[in-house]
């Protein structure tokens, strides 16, 4: 598949100071990451249930240390994995140094350009709450090939009674799964501090807002509420 990558001159949705702060946060998180079970990799298998029939090229937005990209590399001909954190990309390079079909891109996805129908799948985990949701969906939509899948898994803000019930259920489930998967593998003080610092400035949309935008821009899209304060948007370009 022909894939054209270029840099667009575009006004960033985040203010420069905020953008630098988020980059710095993730550089610290990358340095402190310990390969533990977490709320994001918990859903890797869920995401893999929505693979397209054609598996040429996949775009992984906010690839982090390359955990999902490593899995996708075994299922697709090629993977383009992008993250704007230097620390995350460095960790991903170390992890994927023997994987030949992954292209790692250290760049803000908002300045990342692609030709129409470039990807058979576009996937993003815990990145879209840092982006202007509506404009990025509009920009990504033409890049998805016919028959392709867009899968966005991200965090959302509780705003209804159902949301708060799910949020409450997440706490005991989190403690149980932490005990099962991370026994003897505690988060370091450095990692805890990095996540705490980052969480101070995170802003999440309610799932109702995500559903409204999805119904407007992506006909047939499904938005599911998930445990651990997350949702998943799934759209097939049919």
Instruction: Report the run of H or E that residue 176 belongs to, with start and end.
Output: helix 161-181
Tens of pLDDT along 168-202? 988 898 888 888 888 767 777 777 776 677 667 78
SS3 letters for 28-79? HHHHHCCCCCCCCHHHHHHHHCCCCCCCCEEEEECCCCCHHHHHHCCCCCEE
Compute the chain's Rg from CA coordinates.
17
Give the tens place of pLDDT for each residue, 121-135. 999 999 999 999 999
Instruction: Tell me whether residue 207 is in a domain.
Output: yes
Count of Cβ atoms closer than 10 Å to residue 238 Cβ: 8
- 99 occurs within a structural domain: yes
In a domain, 168, yes or no: no
163 part of a folded domain: no
pLDDT at 19 exceeding the cut of 90: no
Q: Which of 7, 66, 32 is nearest to 186 (CA)?
A: 32
Q: Is the pLDDT of residue 3 over 60?
A: no
Task: State the SS3 of 193-221.
Answer: HHHHHHHCCCCCCEHHHHHHHHHHHCCCC
Q: What is the CATH number of the domain that holds 226?
A: 3.40.50.150
Q: Which residues form the domain of 82?
A: 15-158+197-236
- Residue 184 falls within a domain, yes or no? no
179 in a structural domain: no
Domain count, the chain: 1
- For residue 201, what pLDDT is reported? 74
- pTM summary value: 0.85
Query: Is 223 within a domain?
Result: yes
pLDDT tens digits, residue range 24-76? Answer: 776 666 665 667 788 899 999 999 999 999 999 999 999 999 999 999 999 99
């Amino acid at each position: 598949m022909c894939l054209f990558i270029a840099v667009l001159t575009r006004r960033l949705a985040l203010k420069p100071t905020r953008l630098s702060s988020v980059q710095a946060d993730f550089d610290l998180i990358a340095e402190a990451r310990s390969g533990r079970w977490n709320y994001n990799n918990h859903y890797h298998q869920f995401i893999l249930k929505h693979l397209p029939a054609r598996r040429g090229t996949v775009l992984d937005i906010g690839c982090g240390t390359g955990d999902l990209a490593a899995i996708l590399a075994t299922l697709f001909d090629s993977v383009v994995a992008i993250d704007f954190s230097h620390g995350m990309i460095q960790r991903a390079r170390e992890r994927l140094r023997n994987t030949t079909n992954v292209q790692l891109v250290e760049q803000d996805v908002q300045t990342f350009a692609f030709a129409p129908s470039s990807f058979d799948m576009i996937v993003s985990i815990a990145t879209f709450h840092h982006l202007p949701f509506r404009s990025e969906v509009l920009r990504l939509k033409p890049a998805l090939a016919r028959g392709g899948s867009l899968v966005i898994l991200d965090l959302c803000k509780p705003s209804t009674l159902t949301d708060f019930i799910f949020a409450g259920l997440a706490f005991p489930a989190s403690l149980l799964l932490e005990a099962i998967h991370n026994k003897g593998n505690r988060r370091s003080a450095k990692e805890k501090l990095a996540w705490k610092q980052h969480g101070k400035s995170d802003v999440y949309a309610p799932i109702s807002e995500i559903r409204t935008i999805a119904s407007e821009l992506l006909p047939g899209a499904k938005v599911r509420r998930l445990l651990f304060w997350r949702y998943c948007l799934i759209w097939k370009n049919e």
